[in-house]
Amino acid sequence: MKIGFIGLGIMGGPMCANLLQAGYEVTVSSHNAEAAEKLHAQGAHIADTPKEIAAQVDLVITMLPNSPQVLEVALGPDGIVAGAHRGLTYVDMSSIAPQASRQVHDALAKVGVPMLDAPVSGGEPKAVDGTLSIMVGGDRGIYDTVHDVLAVLGSAVVHVGQIGSGNTAKLANQVVVALNIAAVSEALMLARMAQVDPQSVFEAIRGGLAGSTVLEAKAPMILDRNFTPGFRIDLHVKDLANALDTAHDVDAPLPLTQAVLGMLQTLQSDGHGGDDHSGLVQYYEQLSRTRVERTSR
């Protein structure tokens, strides 16, 4: 199977590298020249437009920032739709609004190109080691044909329903993650303000009911004040905004999500949008004028 990969950022670059390592023939976009050349050195071909990529492959995968970019790459004048041919399949692994996924799906269906939405969770570390969680929406038969490709990228690949369902699952994931990071930040700030070592509190609660993947991944970053992005605040703002838009469409109440989005937007406006989302603790630090950090014992 020949694969085209568009979107070579923090997540897409290592995902594409894993496909090359697995032996797939991959053509990448020249849009990110530095990343494209790095992958070219690993065996990838390079093409200039989504149209050119689509015309020469069996499967196009995109990993893009948000809905407008997906719409342009898929449906623009030099988009995937312009390179459509018999046997082409499209899998969008971006985290976008479910309605946008349905819009692209319906447009591509008119030229005979089936589509799945398959957003991921796990951040850069799991993109690198190929253990992402992948949530897939779309036709089950099409899912079966690309499952082995997706299994190179993730350790958990789950079909969750019709087109758009993958992104609905991803929005649910992002709600849980954001609220967990806020809870971890509040808990560690409580410990700090009560003059109890936050590191000791982390060690005490991690094995109990409060233990979680988020706690394990983000508490050490908070304690070390390491906000180097694995997943940026800017992107989490985008995801929670999409979650609230979707919630509005289906009349789902998301008051906690609204509150945490406001916290992240405050940090974004203060210049922290490029920080890892564990940097949410800085919102609490601004309120308390106290830093949460690891202390020596």
3-state secondary structure of 39: helix
Please list, in sequence order, all residues whose beta carbon lies within 8 angstroms of the beta carbon of residue 256, skipping any fewer than 6 positions away. Answer: 175, 179
What are the angstrom distances between the C-alpha of 155 and each of 90, 121, 123?
21, 11, 13
Distances (CA, A) of 280 to 109, 130, 226, 237, 248: 41, 27, 12, 11, 25
Q: Which residues are catalytic?
A: 170
Which amino acid makes up residue 120? Answer: V
Under a CB-based contact definition with an 8 Å cutoff, are residues 246 and 76 in contact?
A: no
Do 170 and 11 touch, CB atoms closer than 8 A?
no
- b/e map of 98-117 (b: 16 or more CB within 10 Å)? bebbbbbbebbeeeebbbbb
Instruction: Find the length of the chain.
Output: 297
Alpha-carbon distances, residue 295 vs 63, 198, 220, 224, 225 (angstroms): 39, 8, 12, 9, 12
What's the rounded Cα separation, in Å, for the pair 266 and 34? Answer: 32
